[in-house]
């Protein structure tokens, strides 16, 4: 079946540095990918919609200059957390619906970011 991968699975970085998280669709093309953020024992909150070949669409309250999203190809979207601070520590997870309409959205395994 379709698989979405994320890299890295875990990352620890220092305050002020930037971190890039990759989301790949492995055996299907995804013109759209979604980036979610999840705090411990909380729900998934949609941060932005990544669109191949165009600008991402950010949810209200999400700083687009802080969370840079690039969707350069039909199989890759990247989320860069710029000038990370401890409050950015969270679980980031991407999802991609298959290009042909189906019922399931496929999620990546998630990236746990810790900013020290």
Partner 1 sequence: AQKITQTQPGMFVQEKEAVTLDCTYDTSDPSYGLFWYKQPSSGEMIFLIYQGSYDQQNATEGRYSLNFQKARKSANLVISASQLGDSAMYFCAMREGMGTSGSRLTFGEGTQLTVNP
Check if the beta carbon of residue 50 is closer than 8 Å to that of residue 77: yes
Part of the chain binding partner 1 (CB under 8 A), chosen from 14-22, 70-78, 82-90, 108-116: 108-116
Check if the beta carbon of residue 70 is closer than 8 Å to that of residue 51: no
Residue 5 binds to partner 1 (criterion: CB under 8 A): no
Closest approach, Cβ 104 to partner 1, in A, equals: 5
| Stretch 16-35: interaction string toward partner 1, x if CB under 8 A | ---------------xx-x-
Rounded to 5 degrees, what angle do the CA atoms 31, 35, 1 make?
60
Binders of partner 1 in range 52-71 (CB under 8 A): none
Helix, strand, or coil here: 72?
A: strand
């Amino acid at each position: 079946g379709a698989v979405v991968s994320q890299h890295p699975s875990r990352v620890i970085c220092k305050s002020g540095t930037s971190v890039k998280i990759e989301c790949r669709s492995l055996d299907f093309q995804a013109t759209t990918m979604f980036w979610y953020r999840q705090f411990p024992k909380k729900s998934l909150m949609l941060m932005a919609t990544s669109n191949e070949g165009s600008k991402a669409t950010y949810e209200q309250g999400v700083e687009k200059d802080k969370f840079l999203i690039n969707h350069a190809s039909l199989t890759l979207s990247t989320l860069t957390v710029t000038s990370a601070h401890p409050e950015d520590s969270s679980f980031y997870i991407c999802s991609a619906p298959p290009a042909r309409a189906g019922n399931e959205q496929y999620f990546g395994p998630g990236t746990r970011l810790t900013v020290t």
